[in-house]
Structure 1
Amino acid sequence: MPGSCGPFGTACSRKYSIKQTQEKRNKKGVYVMKKKKFTPLTAKELRPEGWLRQQLKIQAEGLSGHLDLIWPDIRDSKWISGDKEGWERVPYWLDGFIPLAYLLEDEELKKRAARYIDAILERQEEDGWICPCSREERSTYDVWAAFLICKVLVLYYECSGDDRIEQAVYRAMHNLLLHVTNSTLFNWSAARWYECLVPLLWLYERRPEDWMLKLAFVLEAEGLDYEKLYRNFDFAHPAVDKYWTQLNHVVNTAMAFKSRALMSLLTGESADGFAREMYEKVMRYNSMATGHFTGDECLSGDSPVQGSECCSVAEAMYSYEILLAVSGNPFWGDLLEKEAFNCLPATTTPDMWAHQYVQMTNQICCSRIAPDQVPFNSNGGEAHMFGLEPNFGCCTANFNQAWPKFALSAVALSADGLAVMSPVPVSVRIEKEGTAVSLQVISGYPFRDEAVIEITAERPVEMELLVRIPGFAQGALVDGEKAEPGSFYRIYRKWEGSTRVKVSFSFVPVLTDRPNDMKALVRGPLVFSLPITETCRKLEYVKDGVERKAPYCDYELTPASDWNYGFCTETFEVRGNEIGEYPFAVDNPPLQIKTEMVKIPWQENGGVCAHLPQERRALSQPEEKLLQPYGCTNLRMTEMPLVSR
């Protein structure tokens, strides 16, 4: 057809031509997708070890492992024939609960996950519609939940091998094409259309049909075009007038980083070119010292007392995992580690029974803020408190995905072997050319600066080992050879028996620049904060029929030590401690940095410290202080000025 383009012969995209499309079809006429640089492993092939396994056990023993027992929106959801929320919360929770159960090989958790999957599959309607609403409600039902539940079903298949899943996803996707052709995307589904590509492209790889490609481009056409928003307008600029918008909503932003990477598998465009541009523009206005960005609810500027939503951390991590796999660019591995080791543990209590809706870089108190003193863009005065569902319950369900998916991303299949994406403690077992190959990463990273990678081959086998070298390392050695930071170090050889490869990094504590001539102390992937001793008060009550009862009650944290300090030296001493029962413990952190600091004039108002100190002068003689990882704090000061003694 003259003037047409695209894999199904209709005009759809400026990024490729008819000739390119024809070249992408094989001899059977099947459109061939571009391959990812790395193929993620499943819970059948990878197991967490060491502190990472312990972190997942803490999650299972905390809120994540009990939501179906205590929280009405999961326990009594419409997804399982109850009368509570029947939209995103059950899919959000399952997105983390399922890999958690399988990574820990916990049979009880697996049974509880299966109960939900069975109910969802049994309720799928004859025409393929899968969400819990009546036919009359379909036109007003936001199908973002359909994208999400199909993504969950794919994850369940990868964990369990359940042979019902493929047909269920096939029917749901086919129904979705008919549905969105008549009832176009709106609200959250329009903002998050690319999330549907995760199950859709999985399905196309297994049983390719042209209607699936059509659905991909219909979703793209009906959804928000983030390229136009970010290239032609300044939607990364914070919503300073405190209005709410989908266009720079912080969770949409975190999700959208991967939008073009997923589409690139069909179009052949750059896998991460736009993502880099978008990230740089977002960080230009909204950066945090951790490498994340503020958003409470929408992008909120670079003040250290603005918040950032817990959901945005979980979704940024997932986006970076996809970007790393699709593009192979180690830059995304750097960002992923910064999220996982700083923002993620900081937004939950060490026992993971409570979480915040938003975290603050400089967080001196977590008690209710009076309405006229709230610093947040469009969140309430309890959004930064730790509890069951502070401010809004989406994060209660959604924070569950972050640790399990991070564990699964630690090692991936490369073109000709295995790639260690993050040297955290895991073990892997795969087959290479019919030979059983196991890989174990023995490490205390990021609390330690080295790791040992042990590869055992049942029979001699040739393959590559890739090791991601973090870009924030000052230097690195792999097997005694220098390795370039910000790259993958490659070893290609014949592996026989067991072979150990030692990896070591050079990390130096440095004060990094922050806006308004403030500083933050960073060492490798970890940001360090001045911890504030806290007084904790449990708040047990019932709200909207939902009980808050210890340990899943709310917690008010108030400061019991001074916080108004500034840096006064660039001399730092690193101290290593035991990695204990709680890897991100507040009271016994696995790493500390000793330095000297001075008190400075710094006001607070209603439990929130001023954006900047009122003066940059010392009020005291230098005091010896121990800073600890940002993720090992509940109350903290992170961005502080460097002042004269």
Structure 2
Amino acid sequence: MKKLLTYSFSLLALAPGTFAQTKTAYTVPIYQELPLGAIQPSGWLRNQLVIMRNGTSGHLDEVYKKVKQDNGWLGGKGDGWEETPYWLDGALPLAYLLDDKTLQEKVLRYVNWTLDHQRPSGYFGPLTKAEREQHITIDAQHAADGEDWWPKMVMLKVLQQYYTATKDPRVLPFMTRYFHYQLQALKTAPLGKWTEWATSRGIENVMIAQWLYTKTHDAKLLQLAELLESQSFAWTTWMGNRDWMISTTTYRDMDDWMKRHAVNVAMGLKAPAINYQRTGNKTYLRNLQTGWHDLMTVHGLPMGIFSGDEDLNGNDPTQGVELCAVVEAMYSLENIIGITGEVPYMDALEKMAFNALPTQTTDDYNNKQYFQVANQVQISRGVFDFSLPFNREMCNVLGMRSGYTCCLANMHQGWTKFAQHLWYTTAGNGVAALTYAPNRLTAKVGKDSTAVTINEVTSYPFEDQVHFELTMPKAAAFPFQLRIPGWCKEATLLLNGQPLQHAKGGEITTVNRTWKNGDQLSLQLPMEITTTVWGRNSRSVERGPLVYALKLNEKWEKGTDAEEGDYLSVYPEEAWNFALQRAAVEKPAAQLQFSTVKPAGDDFVWNLEHAPLQITAPAKRLPGWEAVNGVAYQPVTDRNGFYKGKTDSTIQKITLVPYGCTKVRIVAFPIAE
């Protein structure tokens, strides 16, 4: 039986919570991000992005009034806060990943207005009330007449991506002027002057300031980063000293709720890594390890994300998680991966992307679920046992505007940022494939910066082989690194069809050679069926990066809410109250049967119809396990993890499919002896 959270890091453990006072030189990340557009998705991943482009990701400004009407980021009096930058943070990379000129033209309206309307002081963003009504010029002396720092942090992420795609010469001077202004303005208008969102998410600001430092080497940017960190939530310290994690299990009230807010936590995850990048202090990385381990132990759910409905809320399989928390945690992991080079964070990123992310939107990417639930036996209106239960009863249904609309604007960065971070560059001018999906990479490698195109041919995570086809004008020597996931005992590499080497799971393997045009490198990652332990003594079935859930035929119903518009409910059409047999849990390789149903082709969609894989398992129904107000509360078990109540005498074969293909399901099963 596979144990929960078997993470293994290369760094030695240190006592958490103590930081050396001495500063060291800025630390270069182990892996460097590639420019936006260097990675072009193909296969099923490209189809996912095309669906998004055709849906709300490409058209939110046409279908969502808050963004559509008199937008503040175009000089109007409408939305000037987070939702427009949130949308652009996914729509802009989508435009360049698909090389879509129409979408590029659309998002560049906002980029160009922002760049062209910076104030002489360096301040930027929508026109403020003081500017409109009192004609005040926003500068460091009048910083208090500005507006919230938080939305600007998101727009800075948009501009950073735009720069990597285009090298527009306006961007770096724009950022420099703003950060110089901010260094002075924070003394009289600190991060928390307007809202606590800025203090809870200040690491987003630190991250971009440090990125600009790598381009300009302006020492004031590191001074700014230190000041921002001092005014922000102390995520790095909290993650290491463990008192914070204990407090998240105790209270569910308004006191300090921002410290438990799952989206804040998801953003804050990268704080220790980014602070390490600035200081070189490895204690930050120890605190990151401690915090991630504790977070997933106390609040982790089988699909690879922590609970957050809206606050962190324990590991019971009936707790929910907000869609914004999923995409923000993914982005934090993508930053952590580059800085630390640690395989467990890469494994965690894939698990979130292939399980938690796809289930929370409709096939057309026009509706989202504010909170998803692991053991979700119906999607419906109701006041559920969430930390923010919503008396409007709309936080569980699938709708464009159901729940809060932050997720409607922010969900677009999940797949786009994942696609951008399939590859990184390495020391020695090499490349590293650290997460896998079909795509084509264009990069310059070796001492002569030879152009190379690497076509990654695979339907991973739905198959266990990844093929890399190299096209280049001349031979070049460079390191080619590949991640071997922690769930894989031993991988095999083949070069041009011939065995090359074996590599152990949980490591980065390097093939360092002179590569030639037409070379083909293949990676074989054998996937075994395992079971993992989760909250309330439940068990989940996994194979490779995919988690498997009970397949239930779905009944969809459409409704309309006067305030939040159209929405969709989903109900199961068959029994869901099954327990896995003890033998299946203890000997999954022998008791559980895996099969490929159909290939995951270029037209793949994350739904039951397209589910390419399945696992059959022996199980028994539990007559006493019934939904209460639509919630399948976990049956009581003893300390050995076995259900002691009545079970059906008949053993049935149940079918499990990838979690991401389901809407209603059981994924955390009780065990029947």
- The answer as to 2:113 corresponding to 1:96 is no
Partners of 1:231 and 1:502 lie apart in 2 by 40
Q: Offset of 1:607 from its aligned partner?
A: 1.2
Match of 1:266 among 248, 253, 278: 278
Question: For residue 55 of structure 1, what is the aligned residue in structure 2?
Answer: 48
Question: For residue 592 of structure 1, what is the aligned residue in structure 2?
Answer: 614
Aligned pairs for 1:328-477 (under 5 A) are 328-369=341-382, 371=383, 374-380=384-390, 381-416=393-428, 417-432=430-445, 433-477=448-492
Q: Offset of 1:541 from its aligned partner?
A: 5.0
Aligned pairs for 1:239-254 (under 5 A) are 241-244=251-254, 245-254=257-266
Runs of 4+ displaced beyond 6 Å: none
Report if the CA contact (8 A) 1:357-1:389 is conserved.
no
Flag the 1:499–1:190 CA change in 2: closer, same or farther, 3 A.
same
Structure 1 gap segments, 5+ residues each: 1-12, 25-32
Aligned pairs for 1:285-296 (under 5 A) are 285-296=298-309
Per-residue deviation, residues 34-63 of structure 1 (Å, max 9, x unmatched)? 111111112332111111111111111122
Q: Offset of 1:133 from its aligned partner?
A: 4.4
Question: For residue 221 of structure 2, what is the aligned residue in structure 1?
Answer: 212
Question: For residue 150 of structure 2, what is the aligned residue in structure 1?
Answer: 144
Match of 1:631 among 660, 664, 670: 660
Q: Offset of 1:457 from its aligned partner?
A: 2.6
Partners of 2:169 and 2:207 lie apart in 1 by 18
Name the amino acid aligned to 1:539.
Answer: G
**SS, match of residue 576 in structure 2:** coil
Question: For residue 27 of structure 1, what is the aligned residue in structure 2?
Answer: none
Q: Offset of 1:135 from its aligned partner?
A: 6.3
Partners of 1:615 and 1:114 lie apart in 2 by 61
Name the amino acid aligned to 1:181.
Answer: K
Match of 2:103 among 105, 109, 112: 109
Report if the CA contact (8 A) 2:422-2:435 is conserved.
yes
Partners of 2:533 and 2:214 lie apart in 1 by 45
Q: Offset of 1:434 from its aligned partner?
A: 3.5
Partners of 1:228 and 1:207 lie apart in 2 by 29
Question: For residue 159 of structure 1, what is the aligned residue in structure 2?
Answer: 165
**SS, match of residue 182 in structure 1:** coil
Name the amino acid aligned to 2:40.
Answer: R
- The answer as to 2:634 corresponding to 1:611 is yes
- Alignment size in residue pairs: 610
Partners of 1:124 and 1:379 lie apart in 2 by 41
Structure 2 gap segments, 5+ residues each: 1-17, 132-142, 585-590, 637-642
- The answer as to 2:36 corresponding to 1:43 is yes
**SS, match of residue 272 in structure 1:** helix
Partners of 2:533 and 2:56 lie apart in 1 by 36
Partners of 1:459 and 1:233 lie apart in 2 by 54
Partners of 1:435 and 1:213 lie apart in 2 by 34
Partners of 2:369 and 2:39 lie apart in 1 by 30
In percent, how many aligned pairs have the same letter? 29
Partners of 1:379 and 1:176 lie apart in 2 by 38
Aligned pairs for 1:66-81 (under 5 A) are 66-76=59-69, 77-81=71-75
Out of 271-280 and 47-56, give the one that drifted further: 271-280
Partners of 2:513 and 2:239 lie apart in 1 by 45
Out of 561-570 and 240-249, give the one that drifted further: 240-249
Name the amino acid aligned to 1:179.
Answer: A
Per-residue deviation, residues 212-258 of structure 1 (Å, max 9, x unmatched)? 12111101111111233334453224455432411121111111111
- The answer as to 2:197 corresponding to 1:175 is no
Q: Offset of 1:203 from its aligned partner?
A: 1.6
Out of 611-620 and 301-310, give the one that drifted further: 611-620
Q: Offset of 1:389 from its aligned partner?
A: 2.4
Per-residue deviation, residues 610-638 of structure 1 (Å, max 9, x unmatched)? 23368544225122221101100011111
Per-residue deviation, residues 392-432 of structure 1 (Å, max 9, x unmatched)? 11111111101011011111111121101122111111122
Partners of 1:513 and 1:616 lie apart in 2 by 20
Name the amino acid aligned to 1:50.
Answer: G
**SS, match of residue 145 in structure 1:** helix
Flag the 1:163–1:460 CA change in 2: closer, same or farther, 3 A.
same
Report if the CA contact (8 A) 2:242-2:291 is conserved.
no
Per-residue deviation, residues 528-562 of structure 1 (Å, max 9, x unmatched)? 0002222212224552xx7x4xxxx3111122221
Partners of 1:389 and 1:239 lie apart in 2 by 30
Q: Offset of 1:119 from its aligned partner?
A: 2.0
Report if the CA contact (8 A) 1:584-1:590 is conserved.
no
Report if the CA contact (8 A) 1:101-1:110 is conserved.
yes
Name the amino acid aligned to 1:602.
Answer: W
Name the amino acid aligned to 1:377.
Answer: S
Partners of 2:211 and 2:536 lie apart in 1 by 46
Q: Offset of 1:317 from its aligned partner?
A: 0.6
Report if the CA contact (8 A) 1:286-1:301 is conserved.
yes
Flag the 1:241–1:44 CA change in 2: closer, same or farther, 3 A.
closer
Per-residue deviation, residues 123-182 of structure 1 (Å, max 9, x unmatched)? 322222112242649637331112111121111111232222112212221222222111
Partners of 1:426 and 1:534 lie apart in 2 by 32
Partners of 1:326 and 1:606 lie apart in 2 by 45
Partners of 1:72 and 1:582 lie apart in 2 by 31
Aligned pairs for 1:548-627 (under 5 A) are 548=565, 553-568=566-581, 569-570=583-584, 571-576=591-596, 577-580=598-601, 581-600=603-622, 601-612=624-635, 616-627=645-656
Question: For residue 9 of structure 1, what is the aligned residue in structure 2?
Answer: none
**Cα-Cα RMSD:** 1.9
Report if the CA contact (8 A) 1:243-1:378 is conserved.
no
Question: For residue 28 of structure 1, what is the aligned residue in structure 2?
Answer: none
**SS, match of residue 517 in structure 2:** strand
Partners of 1:640 and 1:616 lie apart in 2 by 14
Name the amino acid aligned to 2:647.
Answer: A
**SS, match of residue 81 in structure 2:** coil
Per-residue deviation, residues 503-534 of structure 1 (Å, max 9, x unmatched)? 11111112212232211111111110002222
**SS, match of residue 497 in structure 1:** coil
Per-residue deviation, residues 180-211 of structure 1 (Å, max 9, x unmatched)? 11111210111111111232122212222222
